[in-house]
Structure 1
Amino acid sequence: MPKSVAFQLLVFAAIASTLPAALSAQSNKTVTGQAAFHDFTQEHPGTRWKITVADLPAPNPEEAVDNGASMVARPANAWPQAPKGFKVELYAEGFREPRLIRTAPNGDLFLADSAAGEVKVLRGVQSDGKAKTVSVYASGLDHPFGINFYPNGPHPKWVYIANTTSLVRFPYKDGDLKATAAPQTIVPVLPGYAQLRGGGHWTRDVVFSKDGQRMFISVGSASNVDNPDAHPREFHRADVLEYTPEGKFIKVYAYGIRNCVGEAINPTTGQLWCSTNERDNLGNNLVPDYITHIEEDGFYGWPWFYMGGHQDPRLPGTHPELKSRVIVPDVLLQPHFASLEMTFYEASQFPAEYKGDAFAAEHGSWNRNHRAGYEVIRVPMKNGHATGEYEDFLTGFVRPDGKVWGRPVGVAVANDGSLFVTDDGTNSVWHVIYTGK
């Protein structure tokens, strides 16, 4: 072999050895095992990952770090990256803290601008890709987050809004851009909130069962791992609470869910699903955040156990009778991903293989040495059931030096099948459109 050719091969091999292992997974392969624990440099649209309980390391609290996002302005050449065939446009900006976003049956987008205490309505798309109108639907709210419409169907009569400490509803008719009456308080008291670094446990989401008979409100914990036996402030927290649509409390629907930030009803199975933030300070690769179906009366471990019968070392020997009852989530995500709103895709604009899958916003880690998250992921489903994998869908919100310019929070499917993503790093809303080009 000529020396020049041999030299070129050696150079190629050296370069290839430095590439992230995940890059080889972008063509229908899934990264598994220890390689599935990754950071933002390995997140690329189309890359699939699968973490299992067998992959979990032992707790290592000494690894715990405070590595919060170092926020910077979006660089001039920075833009969210989507899979081939998708286009990303900047739809709206100038919000104070855009969080959860939901699509009204008529196609309007209702957005919780939480720090502003407002819910806004975004309507239409101009030729430049921007929203035609942005209206304030309601103001004077207490950190609004969850938004939903009732009754189910094309012509709801109410807009429900989950404040931090209460649930209210406004009379609604199709096309309303502003509330036409004062809010009715449906649930006057929800458990009080603690704004935790990296936790966001003031958020409350609200969804209705497929038959419209049940109302589910998610309430995150007041702490990282406080034992509810000794801390009354955890009463009815780290739970999904069930009410009637008129606001009558029924029961704790499911418990041990540290922070179910985003709720969604699976359109295929009718089951409630949660996008969940797990606990911190057990190491870089513990405990995985997760996306899962929620079983009625189910127990998901917090704070005594995690991912099945793994005992939290900070609460040794507590509640051994619960160990065998811990439900293992359907999809284990990167630890400290900060998984927020989720939604199911039932539209037809995206390629056919997307139908029935879920999307979720990953706000990004703080309790991890190497950043992960700051993206939107796709969760593949088969007949309404998760495969255990997830796929990077919208990435690019972190500069190569680790500085962060964007943090996805909310995801909503438009009536035309495109996807809207809120970003409280740039305080804007992105629009993801499939063009096939």
Structure 2
Amino acid sequence: MKHIQLLIALSFVIMFASSCETDENFIPEKDGSPSISLGYLEAPAGFEISVFAENVENARQMAMSDNGILYVGSRRKGNVYAIVDTNNDFRADSIHIIASGLRLPNGVAMKDGDLYVAEVSKIWKFEDIDSNYDQNPEPILIIDELPTEGHHGWKYIAFGPDEKLYVPIGAPCNICNHEEDNPLFATLTRMNADGSEHEIVAKGIRNTVGFTWHPTTGNIWFTDNGRDWMGDDIPPCELNEITAEGQHFGYPYMHGNEIWDPEHGEDGKTKNIDFKKPVQELGAHVAPLGVIFYTGNMFPTSYKNTALIAEHGSWNRSEKVGYRISQVKFDKNGSPKSYEPFISGWLQGDEDIKGRPVAILQLEDGSLLISDDESGTIYRVSYSAQ
């Protein structure tokens, strides 16, 4: 009988070991104290944060070419950069300014070897950019008919699976309703790569400076910055999902799940609009910008398809919040089950600001790049289970 029990136990061990070995992408999480990188950034155990590039003044959105050249927009600086890692050691060897004097050129996107750059009211195309980034390339104007208002006029842009260029147009104010003046305000729009067939995808979006496509459903997910001057703790910023075209996400009438705006809420109650609620309410004033779903194989398996959000940080809250990368995890039904910090430390105390994260880009090896427009740094986040 003892021999039979021993054989059963050995069989179970062998079966368990075999089942683990068949998952080639299984990466265990390290136990123990959090990792501290660069002397101030804190991440879970096993993660390392290094400097990919520095002196990239006011670094904002990033786009990587097929040849491994990183293009970076800025905001107030007005520059667009090309960052070259010649020997592929994840450390920049040269930084080139390919355009300057632009008006808030936050957005950059790559398509078929061409670099697209968004100003406030214009979008430009730099053809075959990898071959002439260091030769003062001349851009081609794609469109110059976008609103000229600078308030929330900077843009995050990206090409979708349908090969159209998605372009958000923020509200030209903290809180206002200018839809009748220009229906493009407070929307997410899209157009063909040549600027034609410009159309609205979703409405009621105060200011999104980060969106992506879900790796499983293909739906667009975006962050949205909540309005100011309603207090320290309301309204929440938001993580949203577009599940059908033409949806309205509440602005300027409703914020978060059920907060009616004190100036426009009563008007919103009279409208026959089914406001789309956020998937996840984020912290008030954290200023969420870039968002991605992690799909790589470098990080532990628990990170697969979780949302990572760059929280730029508050500017007018009595006690600062944000200044971190947060993570939203989901249950098997796709509903959020947690919202918590992933990388923190850009804010030390309430006065010492080491940086402000803006955008997140996943590399082919599964590591991440994070841009920081305060310090002009681009960080690389990697993981080792050893």
TM-score normalised by L of structure 2: 0.83
Aligned equivalent of 1:11: none
1:411 CA drift (Å): 1.1
| CA separation of 1:127 and 1:308: change in aligned 2, threshold 3 A | closer
For 2:168, which of 215, 218, 243 is the aligned residue?
218
**Aligned ranges for residues 23-34 of structure 1 at < 5 Å?**
none
Aligned equivalent of 1:290: 238
Aligned equivalent of 1:104: 65
| CA separation of 1:142 and 1:386: change in aligned 2, threshold 3 A | farther
Aligned equivalent of 1:426: 375
Aligned equivalent of 1:414: 363
Distance 1:175 1:322 in 2: 53
Distance 1:225 1:401 in 2: 27
Which letter does structure 2 place at the counterpart of 1:148?
A
1:129 CA drift (Å): 6.0
- Measured on the aligned residues, the alpha-carbon RMSD in Å equals 2.8
| CA separation of 1:315 and 1:403: change in aligned 2, threshold 3 A | same
TM-score normalised by L of structure 1: 0.74
| CA separation of 1:344 and 1:130: change in aligned 2, threshold 3 A | same
For 2:157, which of 206, 212, 235 is the aligned residue?
206
| CA separation of 1:261 and 1:222: change in aligned 2, threshold 3 A | same
What number of residue pairs does the alignment pair up? 353
| CA separation of 1:102 and 1:377: change in aligned 2, threshold 3 A | farther
For 1:304, which of 243, 248, 253 is the aligned residue?
253
1:216 CA drift (Å): 1.5
Which letter does structure 2 place at the counterpart of 1:257?
I
1:225-254: CA deviations, max 9, x gaps?
A: 112267x3x641111112122212442211
**Aligned ranges for residues 37-186 of structure 1 at < 5 Å?**
78-124=39-85, 130-150=91-111, 156-172=112-128, 177-178=133-134, 181-186=137-142
Distance 2:259 2:40 in 1: 40
Which letter does structure 2 place at the counterpart of 1:281?
W
Which letter does structure 1 place at the counterpart of 2:342?
F
Secondary structure of the residue aligned to 2:305 is coil
- The answer to whether the aligner puts 1:273 opposite 2:224 as a matched pair is no
| CA separation of 1:175 and 1:349: change in aligned 2, threshold 3 A | farther
Which letter does structure 2 place at the counterpart of 1:247?
G
For 1:238, which of 177, 181, 186 is the aligned residue?
186
Distance 2:216 2:173 in 1: 34
- Structure with the greater relative contact order (CA < 8 A, sep ≥ 6): 1 or 2? 1
1:308 CA drift (Å): 4.2
Distance 2:307 2:135 in 1: 31
Contact 1:107–1:415 (8 Å) recurs in 2: no
1:418 CA drift (Å): 1.0
Secondary structure of the residue aligned to 1:353 is helix
1:393-413: CA deviations, max 9, x gaps?
A: 110112235432211111111
| CA separation of 1:225 and 1:116: change in aligned 2, threshold 3 A | closer
Distance 1:332 1:373 in 2: 14
Aligned equivalent of 1:260: 208
Aligned equivalent of 2:354: 405
Distance 1:413 1:369 in 2: 34
For 2:341, which of 386, 392, 406 is the aligned residue?
392
Distance 1:122 1:173 in 2: 12
Contact 1:268–1:384 (8 Å) recurs in 2: no
Q: Structure 1: which 5+ runs fail to align?
A: 1-27, 29-43, 47-75, 151-155, 196-200
1:113 CA drift (Å): 2.9
Q: Identity of paired residues, percent?
A: 28
Contact 1:100–1:146 (8 Å) recurs in 2: yes
Which letter does structure 1 place at the counterpart of 2:223?
S
Contact 2:307–2:327 (8 Å) recurs in 1: yes
Contact 1:309–1:323 (8 Å) recurs in 2: no
Distance 1:95 1:85 in 2: 27
Distance 2:134 2:237 in 1: 36
| CA separation of 1:95 and 1:300: change in aligned 2, threshold 3 A | same
1:388 CA drift (Å): 5.3
Which letter does structure 2 place at the counterpart of 1:225?
I
Distance 2:279 2:212 in 1: 14
Which letter does structure 2 place at the counterpart of 1:120?
Y
Aligned equivalent of 2:149: 193
Contact 2:117–2:124 (8 Å) recurs in 1: yes
Contact 1:106–1:175 (8 Å) recurs in 2: no
Which letter does structure 1 place at the counterpart of 2:141?
T
Contact 2:248–2:273 (8 Å) recurs in 1: no
Contact 1:420–1:431 (8 Å) recurs in 2: yes
